[in-house]
Amino acid sequence: MLKPLFSAIAFLSRIPIPNISFTKENWEKSPAYYPIVGVIIGVFLLLVAKGLHFFLPETITAFCIVLFWIFLTGGLHLDGWMDLADGLGSSRTREQMLEIMKDSRVGAMGVIAAILLIGGKMIVTYELIKQGVVIPLLLAPLLGRFIILPAIKYWPYRQNGIADGLGKYISHFTILFHSLWILLLTYYLVDLMGVIVILVSALLNFLFLVNIYKKLKVLTGDCYGAIIEWAEVNFLFLYLLIGRIL
């Protein structure tokens, strides 16, 4: 149990883990623990938010939280977000878009997408801190790392990529189990409003997935990273929006 969990932590974050050897089986079993990694990342963000808010103004606190967020994940998902933006933003054929996404260089669309994403996260984090609401910083990483499980399980993946074999041990029960405890945790922490936010966010994530697949006919590791970033940022914005409405 611990080795697949450590494998998930090592892949999705910079959090130090015991120096153990990993096998292909542990790598393939690790996606079942992605939501746990999301919780761990969320706890770190909560601690940073609560700690810095005592000493710094909301603007600087929000900046530091997002900066730490990127550092903690190693910019892995942000890289996928930029690569996907470069590919889809090129408006070329499917094959050409996939080749652009494989290029290690970042184009103009990728830079623009990164600026908008990071800026959006800073703004929404500032507003949440200003209102004294920090629980979304725990839930956003959790939701982001859960939402790629159905993406890995139910959408075709490009062969010979870094995520080969990750869908092997993801079962329908795994997805259902994580769905239930995430909804129960959200209800416990936020009440019904949080559940509504998650459901609306899930719809937006599904539409995002469909749009990617419609253009690429396949998912890649970059797509998974972009999905995580999209899920995190839209959840935070929806939390503010639906919170104002309700």
Q: What tens digit of pLDDT does each residue of 126-137 get?
A: 999 999 999 999
pLDDT score of 26: 86
Over range 168-174, report the average pLDDT.
92
Report the percentage of the chain scoring pLDDT > 90: 78
CB 77 within 8 Å of CB 225 = yes
Using pLDDT thresholds of 50, 70 and 90, give the confidence band for residue 118: very high
Give the position of tokens 């974050």. 13
Is the pLDDT assigned to residue 17 strictly greater than 90? no
Q: Is 217 exposed, middle or buried (0-12, 13-18, 19+ CB in 10 A)?
A: exposed
Question: 185: which 2 tokens?
Answer: 């945790």
- Between residues 246 and 38, the one the model is more confident about: 38
Over range 134-147, report the average pLDDT.
96
Is the pLDDT assigned to residue 110 strictly greater than 80? yes
pLDDT score of 159: 67
Mean of the per-residue pLDDT values of the chain:
92
CB 147 within 8 Å of CB 231 = yes
Is the pLDDT assigned to residue 36 strictly greater than 90? yes
Using pLDDT thresholds of 50, 70 and 90, give the confidence band for residue 153: very high
Query: Domain residue spans in the chain?
Result: 2-245
- Between residues 227 and 159, the one the model is more confident about: 227
pLDDT score of 119: 96
| Alpha carbon distance 148, 180 (integer Å) | 16
Is the pLDDT assigned to residue 163 strictly greater than 80? no
Report the percentage of the chain scoring pLDDT > 70: 98
CB 137 within 8 Å of CB 125 = yes
One-letter amino acid at 61 equals: T
Is the pLDDT assigned to residue 145 strictly greater than 70? yes
Using pLDDT thresholds of 50, 70 and 90, give the confidence band for residue 203: very high
